[in-house]
């Protein structure tokens, strides 16, 4: 019998000083059995960094035609496609052709750096693609905040993200880009 997804609920208090976005979001995420806490929490970080009223989670891990997170306009056209990890270049190309803007939040230390180096010439062709390489120690610390029910505060300012719950705080320095 196949293992089912685990449901996580999170209340996010987002104060994005850089975008002047201040909002609370209640989200429900299904964590696929093959997904790690690090990847799931990186998805949550990507959500907070791009939060809007209509941003939603997709089925990216189980359906390559879906983003991990996306923003669609009222006609269903994809304004923003967000993936987490190190997707295959073919999938990145497909996302860039379908969406106005594509953002990838890569993590995983040296493996993510190698992925980016190997694909940089191909990625450079896409003017609507933005890749953020997240520090490994930050995404691992973020994974430690994972709980089935979470209340998290995100303070985003000057390229730095502070993520807190009632017991811990993780500071993430985003690379310039």
Q: Please report the pLDDT score of residue 39 as a whole number.
A: 95
Q: Please report the pLDDT score of residue 2 as a whole number.
A: 58
Contact by Cβ (8 Å): 172, 134: yes
If DSSP codes are grouped into helix, strand and coil, which group holds residue 74? coil
Contact by Cβ (8 Å): 126, 137: no
Give the whole-number percent of the chain exceeding pLDDT 90: 86
What does CATH list as the number for 6-19+27-147+155-173? 3.10.640.10
**pLDDT band with cut points at 50, 70 and 90 for residue 159:** very high
Q: Where are the domains of the chain?
A: 6-19+27-147+155-173
CA gap 106, 87 in Å, rounded: 9
Please give the model's pTM, rounded to 2 decimal places: 0.93
Could you tell me which residue, 94 or 66, shows the higher pLDDT?
Answer: 94
Tell whether the model's pLDDT for residue 59 goes beyond 80.
no
Could you give the angle at which helices 110-123 and 89-98 cross, rounded to 10 degrees? 50
Give pLDDT tens digits for 70-124: 999 999 999 999 999 999 999 999 999 999 999 999 999 999 999 999 999 999 9
Q: What per-residue string of b and e applies to 15-50 under the rule 16 or more CB within 10 Å gives b?
A: ebeeeeeeeebebebebbeebebbbbbbbbbbbbbb
Q: Please report the pLDDT score of residue 33 as a whole number.
A: 85
The token pair that represents 67 in the structure block: 């983003």
As a whole number, the mean pLDDT across the chain is: 93
């Amino acid at each position: 019998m196949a293992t089912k997804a685990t449901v996580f609920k999170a209340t996010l208090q987002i104060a994005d000083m850089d975008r002047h976005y201040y909002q609370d979001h209640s989200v429900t995420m299904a964590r696929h059995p093959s997904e790690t806490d690090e990847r799931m929490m990186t998805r949550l970080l990507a959500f907070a960094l791009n939060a809007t009223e209509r941003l939603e989670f997709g089925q990216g891990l189980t359906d390559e035609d879906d983003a991990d997170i996306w923003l669609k306009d009222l006609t269903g056209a994809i304004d923003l496609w967000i993936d987490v990890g190190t997707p295959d270049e073919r999938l990145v190309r497909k996302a860039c052709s379908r969406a106005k803007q594509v953002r990838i939040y890569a993590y995983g230390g040296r493996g993510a750096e190698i992925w980016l180096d190997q694909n940089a010439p191909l990625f450079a062709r896409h003017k609507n693609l933005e890749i953020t390489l997240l520090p490994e120690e930050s995404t691992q610390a973020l994974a430690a905040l994972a709980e089935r029910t979470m209340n998290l505060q995100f303070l985003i300012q000057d390229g730095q993200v502070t993520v807190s719950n009632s017991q811990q705080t993780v500071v993430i320095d985003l690379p310039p880009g």
